[in-house]
Amino acid sequence: MPASWELDDFSRFMFNYGPPFPKGNSRIAGYAQVLDDWRLEFDAYRHYGLCAVLSVEPSCIGKPGRIGLLEDLLAHMREPGDVWFATGAEVAEWWRGQATTNDLGDPERSRLRL
């Protein structure tokens, strides 16, 4: 699945002194800002018909205040009514049913799935 730092809790909530990881982020982010960022990212993924993969670690998200943040994000994701919540296995099974074969000699066709 296409993971990204934008929808990952580790980079937002794991404290470190240095070097900052990712660069510029050496402290725990504010919950309201994280929720706002995640909502905006999700909305953009949905707008473009992309697969948004939220990555959360129990040691990061599993705090009382952060669980509320996750519940708020999931409520936001449910609002449109057309979002598919699926496991990686379910997405892989769907893809196998949709995919067509590409000429492996043409990397551009493979990349664009034409």
- Confirm whether 89 is domain-assigned: no
Q: Rounded to an integer, what distance in angstroms lies between the CA atom of residue 57 and that of residue 73?
A: 15
- Confirm whether 91 is domain-assigned: no
- Confirm whether 108 is domain-assigned: no
- Confirm whether 113 is domain-assigned: no
* Residue 29, CA distances (Å) to 11, 13, 25, 60, 106 in order: 9, 6, 8, 12, 44
- Confirm whether 68 is domain-assigned: yes
- Confirm whether 111 is domain-assigned: no
How many degrees, rounded to 5, is the angle at CA 45 between CA 12 and CA 16? 10
pLDDT in tens, 48-105: 998 899 999 998 899 888 999 999 999 999 999 999 999 989 988 988 888 676 556 6
C-alpha radius of gyration, the chain, whole number: 17
Note down the domain range covering 10.
5-83
Q: How many domains does the chain have?
A: 1
- Confirm whether 114 is domain-assigned: no
Q: Rounded to an integer, what distance in angstroms lies between the CA atom of residue 55 and that of residue 43?
A: 16
pLDDT in tens, 27-39: 678 899 999 999 9
